[in-house]
Chain A
């Protein structure tokens, strides 16, 4: 009897048996809200580590970590100038695991900026934005921008000299935009300078508006991956013989039911059965291992490297040099040469180029392969841009001293 009750409770939660049969392996994925983001079966090519390097998934994992640690940090944080800095000190010195939480949040945030950027690079170099995935690339661009926005708004919250002046510099770059620049800056700061209004605005953006926005965009992003045929890969070579074998009984009409309604080719269509494996356990296990590795690395970093916290923000004491957050230092470096160049021209061009990229790149070849020789020129252009960005950022971070003069960091 007892056994029966446990069994019944178990069955009420998990509707499937132990996933040792193909049937149950399918059910695990489809009947689990978290796993159903995945298809039941995935192409072998898609789960190869060196194809995706897990950048997209890592970004999502870091986002989850950020949501959890962020929610915990909110318990102690007060978005008022006189209190904000003190709550940082309280986290560091009084709250149990407080400094650890803050470190996790800080390093995960930096990590997410990096992985989202690397994810974008991966998608570019494997030409994964080719039809039908053009729009998902655009969504991805927005996700990158929102990620930067999240990091930027969070940067101000500790209210120390570092954050105060980084945001001052960052919002000044916004102010360089023609016509709307000053207005936009005013809107963002709730005033002309970084102050009480700005802190509250950044807090609301950081903890409510942008997370909501990024969640919506992520939902679309993931949903479209499924709709566009899963993780990209090289086109499947259709083998004449097999097509003939199945031709007497065309599969799409009966076997795949609703899937047939999806535009374009369903990813299972015309493919060899040997080309795919079950998501459970092949993909899920790999994801789990990768997540463990990432979390462990992050925890170790957070244990031994503290998030920076300088003196309390002091509007009357400008550090020299005052630097924007590191991911904007490339822009600041450009602003140093010309405000128009760094403040308007380059960011506008870059974002526009990224958004229209899949529509102007009409070359249908090279999908699913790293550094395909069939799309050399566009890769060269992109690489030059990426290298320029990285070099400028490195110069900005390490090689700039007082009065933005060139210094050697060692």
Chain B
């Protein structure tokens, strides 16, 4: 036998032993085994006593319905144990009450945090981006993204970013340009542009199209970065829409003083703001005179819903003279001198250019026609119709990409383009895109919004919560399906004319401006009081600014509404004609209780009292006694967040209070 072969045998034999050792070592020094050993030692100190040495094992949660297997708890061993609150990762316990609401056994970990639940080592679990696993763990601050997978409503508890983001999305109407499945039934977020030519000044429109924020800092409309030619064409196109038969004009002169009084009486600022102060429901009026034409304003006030069928604004019953007065007041009052001056200053070369071009476009009829046609194309190209109605534009295809499942896109599916020095993740893409719509593509059609940093983060979270992931029905948290109350007939006409829905909630849907849902007002309020109130609304609570507008309702209208409300908006749990059940002595007992419980500290009665609750001087004329009785029994049953304390009155006591309060009536002054 050859000696060399012998030596080779020895060497290879030793090599074999070495590799065998390496194989065994790789198996027995796995990361998770190390952590389990460490945890055992930690437990001895933290939990105390002698913990029995447990065999090293992989721990996993198998979630059939959610189609996941999570092995995170193999290393995150203290996740469910408060005693490990101060430990270092991976043993630290979970923050907050989240695991109480969503127990690990039922929800696992990756449903909320993403990452690779199957993995049993730090790197492969995708704590950070890894290749070949799409779902990297969501950065800790943004975990709320996942809440949105199951919580489909607008308000998600303990997820402020998500809830706020969804509000931003709704407020700005992203669904105008983008398909967003959950918002597919929303109406267009902005006003109709029909007959705009009658409404606004051309100069204002040019300025507005250039940058809406120049006119109004909080403008909802974004900046489209249009070229001057585009602005000219678009202006011509928008201004081309006018009333077919020409404007009929209300003749006469208005009175500034009377108009001002009327403006205040009508409580316009419940909804409108003036230089940033006032309501948030409707448009800013501070500089309205530079925007709209006086003529148009008179006609608009006379027939609001003709000009804007979907607007929240109500129709006041003004006389023609009153309209002239109020218009006079507004056109006079709401013209910002500063801005006008500023405007003159900034009419530099640039604006002159536009003006010049505008003139150019107007030289001949053909040129004008051409310009209008170009404007129409621009209108369609930028998808203006997504937010604004314009009857002669038929196309309704959304111009932006579908956002319904944007959260399921992987980072490679976002068009980062040639931008190199940014972190490539889906959340980063969306954030940057929202921040600067042309960050990734200089020719992007998406307009530039004027977001605060917080809005941008919120919106990013809200968008990423739209995923493809199929969540089992039982796990979806859906807000009650609110069907809009849509009365028909005479009441229906009044209901829409006075836009009750804009402020009041009815049967679970409607506006949020008013704190009074109309659902059972028929059972609560006395007809006579309601009749008068609708004609001349005031604040029931002394410390509240009256916001209900004065409609100038006719007697007939008020009666019609009162009758309908009393018949339809009723709640069977509130007894009618409760007075019949009062016993003798109830009034005295009630008065005693009223004093004992110190109701006066919140309510005004007589000349003194507190300002928290409604004043009670004539409460008997206002409220039905059955309602007072039920309210006294359990106020929170009807209004969960009312500050009215629940005294735990017995039925006898509640009845006595009702009897006492029902007796507090207004002295009827009218003959």
Contact = CB atoms under 8 A, between A and B. Distances in A.
A201 interface: no
Given A93-B120, A94-B120, A285 B9 contact: yes
B132 A296 contact: no
B46 interface: no
Contact of A86 (B16, B27, B69, B121): B69
B355 interface: no
A95 to B, nearest CB: 10
B194 to A, nearest CB: 43
Nearest to A285: B5
B23 interface: yes
B118 A89 contact: yes
B16 A296 contact: yes
A281 interface: yes
B13 interface: yes
Interface in B17-71: 19, 22-23, 26-27, 58, 69, 71
A360 interface: no
Contacts of A281: 1
A292 B12 CA distance: 7
A374 to B, nearest CB: 33
Interface string B109-152: 00000000011110010000000111000000000000000000
A90 B132 contact: no
Contact of A311 (B12, B15, B27, B134): B134
A96 B9 contact: no
B415 to A, nearest CB: 15
A289 B12 contact: yes
A90 B58 CA distance: 11
Contact of A100 (B26, B124, B134): B26
Contact of B1 (A89, A285, A292, A311): A285
A61 interface: no
B363 interface: no
Query: Most chain-B CB neighbours within 10 Å: which of A86, A89, A286, A310?
Result: A89
Contacts of A296: 12, 15-16, 19
B667 interface: no
A69 to B, nearest CB: 13
Interface in A172-227: none
Interface in B97-119: 118-119
A240 to B, nearest CB: 33
Given A86-B118, A93-B119, A295-B16, A303 B23 contact: yes
A92 B130 CA distance: 16
Interface in A88-107: 89-90, 92-94, 96-97, 100
A90 B71 CA distance: 11
B4 to A, nearest CB: 10
A303 B26 contact: yes
A300 B132 contact: no
Nearest to A314: B134
A293 interface: yes
A121 interface: no
B118 A286 contact: no
Contacts of B8: 289
A93 B12 contact: no
A9 B121 CA distance: 50
Interface in A276-304: 281-282, 285-286, 288-289, 292-293, 295-296, 299-300, 303
A354 interface: no
A94 B117 CA distance: 12
A139 interface: no
A92 B123 CA distance: 13
A310 B26 contact: no
A311 B119 contact: no
B133 A311 contact: yes
A100 B1 CA distance: 36
A45 to B, nearest CB: 16
A40 B511 CA distance: 99
B124 A93 contact: yes
A289 B10 CA distance: 10
A300 B118 CA distance: 26
Interface string A123-167: 000000000000000000000000000000000000011000000
Interface in B528-566: none
A309 interface: yes
A236 to B, nearest CB: 24
B71 A93 contact: yes
Interface of A: 86, 89-90, 92-94, 96-97, 100, 160-161, 281-282, 285-286, 288-289, 292-293, 295-296, 299-300, 303, 309-311
27 contacts: A86-B69, A86-B118, A89-B119, A92-B124, A93-B71, A93-B121, A94-B58, A94-B71, A94-B120, A97-B27, A160-B132, A161-B132, A281-B1, A282-B1, A285-B1, A285-B5, A285-B9, A286-B5, A289-B12, A292-B16, A296-B16, A299-B22, A300-B19, A303-B22, A303-B23, A309-B132, A311-B133
Interface of B: 1, 5, 8-9, 12-13, 15-16, 19, 22-23, 26-27, 58, 69, 71, 118-121, 124, 132-134
Given A282-B1, A289-B9, A296-B16, 13 more contacts: A94-B58, A94-B120, A97-B23, A281-B1, A285-B5, A288-B9, A289-B5, A292-B12, A292-B15, A293-B12, A296-B12, A296-B19, A299-B19
Question: What are the 6 tightest A-B residue pairs by CB atom distance, in nearest-first order?
Answer: A292-B12, A89-B118, A93-B120, A310-B132, A299-B19, A296-B15
